[in-house]
Structure 1
Amino acid sequence: MKKIAVFGKPGSGKSTISKALTIATDIPLHQLDSIVYNVDGTLVDRQVYDDAHNNILSSERWIIDGFGPIGSFYKRLEEADTLIYIDLPYPVSYWFVTKRCLKGVFIKPEGWPDGSSVLKGTLESYKTLKMCPKFWNDQFISKLKEPSEDKDIYVIKTVNELNTFVRDHVQ
């Protein structure tokens, strides 16, 4: 594990796993929300994002947490040696987004861009979750699971699998 892409729906535990992995492996963590958004919550210029993303991909070791623009997502999947797709059931993701919002009143959520509104981000997460079945579907999973000799691929489908992955690969 040197180049790790962690991705999935909003509220799936990506930031939690990514942070645990970076602590355990000392591989630098790059949370895409902090690259995609300015501190005021607006989108960065696309060229600025692409330059930052390409610089990360060209480094020897990285953990990238998030989705970002679709073109960069597929590029990241190509470059990574380890893919971690967190595919929790929708009710769990909705609950985790809600829980993050409630906790966000007191503590900035893990991986959240500085200065961004937790409420605005939560509403965006709900909108994104509603659209997710168009992308995160059986066709995507089938393509993801196509045999690859140079990649380790993990598909995490339950909270128990999420906790087990962290315990087995991080601690």
Structure 2
Amino acid sequence: MKKVAIFGKPGSGKSTLSKALAKATGLPLYPLDSLVYQANGERVAREVFDQAHDEIVSSATWIIDGFGPISAFYQRLDAADTLIYVDLAYSTSYWFVTKRLLKGVFVKPEGWPEGSSVIKGSWQSYKTLKLCPTFWNQDFNAKLNTFAADKQVYVIKSVAELNRFVSQGGKASTG
């Protein structure tokens, strides 16, 4: 486990998992939001993102959590040796986004881009969740299975599996 791509719907626990995995493995963590957004919450220019993303993906070790532009997402999946798909139920993801929003009214969520609005970010997460079934579906699962021949692929389907994977530093058997 040297190059790890962690992905899934908004509010699925990717950030929590990636932080725990980085701590357990010592691998450098690159939250995708920190590459996509400036400190004020605005998107960086695509060229700036592509350059930063390419440098990270071509390095020897990394954990990247998030989705980002589709071409970068597939570039990451190709380059990674470990893929972790957090595929929680939609109701759980909606709840986690709502919980982050409610907490964020009082305290900025850890890792949230400086200057970004938790309300706007949460609204974007809700809009993205509504669109997710067009991407996170059986076709994607079939494509993900094609990577299993030469990569470690984990699909986390429940909060219990997610918690177990986090607490065991990525050593849990989830599928």
Q: Which TM-score band (shorter chain)?
A: over 0.9
Instruction: Give the 4+ runs in structure 1 shifted more than 4 A.
Output: none
Q: CA RMSD in A?
A: 1.3
Task: Report the TM-score when normalising by structure 2.
Answer: 0.94
- 1:93-144: CA deviation from partner (whole Å, max 9, x where unpaired): 0000000011112222233211110000000000000000000001101210
**Whole-Å separation in 2 of the counterparts to 1:118 and 1:147:** 35
Q: Which amino acid aligns with 2:49?
A: Y
Matched residue, 1:20? 20
Deviation at 1:18, TM superposition (A): 0.2
Q: How many Å separate the matches in 2 of 1:110 and 1:83?
A: 23
User: Residues of 1 paired with 2:141 and 2:109: CA distance?
Assistant: 28
Equivalent residues of 2:101, 2:119 under 8 A apart: yes
Which consecutive unaligned segments of at least 5 residues does structure 2 have? Answer: none
Size of the alignment, in residue pairs?
171
Once the two structures are TM-superposed, the CA of residue 146 in structure 1 deviates from its matched residue by 2.4
| Alpha-carbon contact 1:15-1:110 (below 8 Å) kept | no
**1:166 to 2:166 alignment:** yes
Paired AA for residue 57 in structure 2: L
Q: Distance in 2 between matches of 1:134 and 1:170?
A: 28
Cross-structure match for 2:50: 50
Question: Higher mean Cα deviation, 48-57 or 110-119?
Answer: 110-119
1:15-94 correspondence to structure 2 within 5 Å: 15-94=15-94
Task: Calculate the TM-score normalised by the size of structure 1.
Answer: 0.96
Deviation at 1:9, TM superposition (A): 0.2
For the residue of structure 2 that corresponds to 1:38, the secondary structure is coil
Segment drifting more, 145-154 vs 134-143 = 145-154
Matched-pair contact (CA < 8 Å) for 2:25–2:169:
no
The letter for the 1-side match of 2:129 is L
* Unaligned 5+ runs, structure 1: none
